[in-house]
A and B are shown apart, each in its own frame.
Chain A
Amino acid sequence: MNSIQQLFQQKDKNLLSIYFTCGFPKLEDTTKVIAALEKSKVDFIEVGLPYSDPLADGPTIQDSSHKALQNGINLDIVFEQLITIKETNKTPLVLMGYLNQMLKYGEDKFCKKVVECGIDTLIIPDLPMVEFENHYQQLFEKYGLTNVFLITPNTEEERIRKIDAYTKAFIYVVASSSITGAKGEISDQQIAYFKRIKAMNLKSKLIVGFGISNKSTFNTACKYANGAIIGSAFIKNLDKNGIDTIDDFIRPIIS
């Protein structure tokens, strides 16, 4: 059983996950952000690996990645940072990055390092299902890693069922056809989509992401899914107000 499955055994409603970018706002902030999020009782944390060309990300996360890379972050430093909190941090971590980073670092070396850091769940948005089936499923199984697939309003039912069968952590329900970033409130059209997915009675847990920015959007998403991920809104707050205000950002959402 992986760390996210264990988490769902304890709690399966209103789960809040926060995405943050490693090495942002400052190079040494990775572990500080994780510690602050744990203290604020976030349910699990999405650890973002900064990438030069993050296609699925909107301007806020893109900008944080750019700044983190300018700060000098790289995969070796990320793994060094994450390993230092392995014993103290009890909040499950999910690693989010792009496939080219893993490919260049060396697939086996990458997976080994991830496991050493106590992480067992990956989100790689540009890893397509056919590549997963042909190669990565076997690789991940070798290291006890699990992959999170994304679904969108345009994903066909048959494909969602297939993704459900592969899923061991959760299905990432992309709230709208969009890149990351807050869009205001959740529309009726999106709610119809959430209802459609909920009605499919999938075996997997559902976590909504993209466009979740505050208590209102978080609560709406949680009506139809097990929880939601906030990314860009958190990054904006972190950039503007700093690490010391993390609890001020989280508390109103989960209270």
Chain B
Amino acid sequence: MKSKFHPDKNGYFGQFGGAFIPELLYPNVKELEDNYIQIIESNEFQTEYKSLLKDYVGRPTPLYFAKRLSEKYGAHIYLKREDLNHTGAHKVNNTVGQILIAKKLGKTNIIAETGAGQHGVATATVCALMGLDCTVFMGEKDIERQAPNVARMKMLGAKVVPATSGSKTLKDATNEAIRYWIQNPETFYLIGSVVGPHPHPDMVARLQAIISEEMKWQLKEKTGKENPDTIIACVGGGSNAAGAFYHFMDDEDVELIAVEAAGLGIHSGESAATSQLGEVGIIHGSKTILMQDEYGQIVEPYSISAGLDYPGVGPLHAFLYESKRATFMNATDKEALAGAYELTKIEGIIPALETAHALAVLPKMKLEKDQVVVINLSGRGDKDLETYIKHLEE
């Protein structure tokens, strides 16, 4: 069934999306656009994709009823355990899918960008699995704060290239990846979120939709109804949120909550809360909402979490925000840390700093006792231990 939340033929979700790319990239993007749906919908792809998700990634991931968290907040809170995926986050759903598409297109050289490193690790992993060359661009600052993931990527055989321009974070890693792609048009750019030129946002959303597909039948098993009342997910570019929302976007009775990183506070000048601070613009090949100054220069974002440190959101999220289909909330660094410590203490789960932002909105919500809430636990916190320990000591 065609949904109004699917892109039109030019890759637009409402006024957002499109493919604003230099001519140098046109043939690559066109090749992907002409082939991706046919590949994804083929039986051959689906068989291989589902088989790898099951036996390699470890899906389905559990939908865990968080009893103590539920008691504390007075609602039925479930955690979709994407942290239990191989490589530790939802990112691998997308990389497994895209590497199969890359192979189908005959590509052998893979590049990726990464913020927290989870997408880089997931890409390096599938490249190792398939025996393909892998180059990962990562902001110099993120290389410092995500050392465990950098080590993992290297061990997996990937070349990690530091992005030294701008804020030296995810935005700049993406710029560098696109520049490399321009110079090496035979390369497959395995993009990590629902951002970039069409068809990337749609392709990544389709590959992450496995999250909401599983949530439907898991909820039915556990609650008798396949729709929850509320789904909460953190948003940087927005791939885990797109995956968690995907099969519920047309079910208007399901409340969708996207949580952005407010950093040191929305108006502190050190934030990544795009929906609050951004305006319509073009970043990384797509029209969306982004943080920019009055002359269209992109403003450098800030968050304690490297994966949310991005000045835009994907075009689907911009449309969900503008159409008011999703509610956008935000959490500061401090609130996210508190959310992470709380989950660790009462459920024995250390979440990724990104995910901690989703958890951090629970105290701000008015929950009903029968309300079924699903939080997409997008990744595990091993990579953020140093940050957690540093702030715990404070």
Q: What is A's interface to B at a CB cutoff of 8 Å?
A: 51-53, 55-56, 58, 62, 66, 69, 74-76, 98-105, 125-128, 130-131, 134, 149-152, 154-156, 159, 174, 177-179
Contact = CB atoms under 8 A, between A and B. Distances in A.
Nearest to B186: A177
A53 B183 contact: no
A53 B185 contact: no
Contact of A128 (B19, B296, B298): B19
A68 to B, nearest CB: 11
Interface string B281-321: 11111000000101111100000000000000000000000
A75 B178 CA distance: 25
Contact of A100 (B18, B27, B296): B296
Contacts of A52: 166, 297-298
B256 to A, nearest CB: 28
A151 B296 contact: no
B370 interface: no
Contact of A150 (B22, B184, B185, B282): B22
A74 B184 CA distance: 32
Contacts of B281: 100, 103-104
Nearest to B164: A59
Interface in B8-22: 10, 18-22
Contact of A125 (B23, B166, B284): B23
Interface residues of B, number: 33
Contacts of B23: 125, 128, 149-152, 155, 174
A150 B175 CA distance: 20
Contacts of B280: 103
A90 B168 CA distance: 42
A105 B24 contact: no
Contacts of B26: 128, 154-155, 159
16 contacts: A55-B179, A62-B165, A74-B294, A75-B295, A101-B297, A125-B23, A130-B10, A151-B23, A155-B23, A155-B27, A156-B27, A159-B26, A177-B24, A177-B184, A177-B185, A179-B183
Interface string B255-285: 0000000000000000000000001111111
Contacts, number: 104
A191 to B, nearest CB: 19
B182 interface: yes
B182 A56 contact: yes
B171 interface: yes
A74 B295 contact: yes
A138 B284 CA distance: 25
A56 B296 contact: no
Kindly name the residue among B21, B183, B282 whose own CB sees the greatest number of chain A CB atoms within 10 A. Answer: B282
B350 to A, nearest CB: 34
A130 B178 CA distance: 20
Contacts of B297: 51-52, 69, 74, 101
B295 A101 contact: yes
A154 B20 CA distance: 17
Contacts of B24: 56, 150, 152, 154, 174, 177-178
A103 B296 contact: yes
Contacts of B295: 74-76, 101, 104-105
Contact of A103 (B27, B166, B282, B298): B282
Contacts of A130: 10, 19
Nearest to A210: B24
Given A51-B297, A104-B279, A178 B183 contact: yes
Contacts of B166: 52-53
Contacts of B294: 74, 104
Given A104-B294, A154-B27, A125 B22 contact: yes
B184 to A, nearest CB: 8
B292 A100 contact: yes
A53 to B, nearest CB: 5
Given A51-B297, A99-B282, A56 B292 contact: no
Contacts of B282: 98-100, 103, 126
Contact of A55 (B18, B22, B27, B184): B22
Contacts of B279: 104
B22 A56 contact: yes
A150 B285 CA distance: 16
A179 B298 contact: no
B182 A55 contact: yes
Contacts of A76: 295
B197 to A, nearest CB: 9
A98 B166 CA distance: 17
B175 A55 contact: yes
B309 to A, nearest CB: 15
A135 to B, nearest CB: 11
Interface string B165-190: 11000010001001100111100000
B150 to A, nearest CB: 23
Closest 10 CB pairs of A and B: A104-B296, A150-B23, A101-B296, A52-B297, A100-B282, A100-B296, A125-B22, A154-B27, A56-B22, A74-B295
B298 A53 contact: yes
A179 B21 CA distance: 13
A25 to B, nearest CB: 19
A194 B273 CA distance: 47
A161 B281 CA distance: 30
Given A103-B296, A131-B18, 11 more contacts: A52-B166, A56-B22, A58-B179, A74-B297, A98-B296, A100-B282, A104-B295, A130-B19, A134-B10, A154-B27, A174-B24
Nearest to B179: A179
A137 to B, nearest CB: 15
A190 B272 CA distance: 43
